[in-house]
Amino acid sequence: MAAEPKQRDARPIVWMIGFLVVAMIVYFVILGERGIDLISSGTVAGIGVGIGVLILPFIGAWLIYATLRAGIEHQRLARIMAEEGRELDVSSLPRRASGRIERDAADELFAQVKAEWEAEPSDWRNTYRIARAYDYAGDRGRARQMMKRAVAQFKGEET
C-alpha cells in the first residue's frame, strides 16, 4: 500500500495572506483619507488628483477580491482532483537543484497530458491537468489561462 503524501500545514500561508489583506485595507483607508484631503483643498489640481487617488483603493480592493476568489476556486478544483486521484504525480520526476522539474521530464509529462486534453477538451479535469502541466513546464501564462478555463468549465460557464 502506497503511503499518502504528507499534507503541509496551510495555516502560515493563510495567516500571511490575512496579514497582507489587512495591511492593504489600512493602506487603502489612508489613501482614501489623502484623496479626501486633496479634494477638500478646493484647487482644480487638488480635486483632480484627489479623485484619482480615491479611485486607487477601489481598484486595489477589486484586485484583492479577484485574486482571492481565483485562489479559492483553484484550491477547490485541486481538492476534488486529489480526492479523485487525478492530480498529476510528479514525485518521481527528476528535479534540478532548485527543485524545479527538469525540462525534458516536464516536456514529456506535458505531451502526455496534452494528448489526454485533446481527446476531451471540454472536461474540466483534463483542462485542470493541462494547466498544471503548463505550470510544471514553466509556461505560467498559459497555465493561468487554462486554469481560468478549467474553473469556467467546472462552473458550467464554458463547454
Q: What is the mean pLDDT of residues 87-105?
A: 86
How many whole angstroms separate alpha carbon 137 and alpha carbon 100?
9
Write down the H helix ranges in 85-96.
none
Nine-digit cell at 113? 497530458
- What's the CA gap between 19 and 15, in Å, rounded? 6
pLDDT tens profile 4-48: 455 677 788 889 999 999 999 999 999 999 999 999 999 999 999
Are residues 69 and 114 located together in one domain of the fold?
A: no
Tell whether the model's pLDDT for residue 146 goes beyond 90.
Answer: yes
Residue 131 has a pLDDT of 94
The predicted model scores a pTM of: 0.74
| Same domain for 19 and 70 | yes
pLDDT digits (tens, 9 = 90+) for 43-70: 999 999 999 999 999 999 999 999 999 9
DSSP per-residue codes, 70-107: HHHHHHHHHHHHHHHT-S---TTS-B-TTSPBPHHHHH
Q: Quick one: pLDDT at residue 64?
A: 93
Tell whether 7 is covered by a domain.
Answer: no
**For position 159, what pLDDT does the model report?**
52
Give the structural domain span for 134. Answer: 103-155
pLDDT at 1 (0 to 100): 44
Backbone angles phi, psi at 18, to 5 degrees: -60, -45
24 and 64 inside one domain: yes
Q: Does the residue 8 lie in any domain?
A: no
Give tens-digit pLDDT for 112-144.
Answer: 999 999 999 999 999 999 999 998 888 899 999
77 and 18 in a single domain? The answer is: yes
Based on the domain organization, do 118 and 69 belong to the same domain?
Answer: no
The pLDDT of 97-101, averaged and rounded, is 84
CA distance linking residue 128 with residue 74, whole number of Å: 9
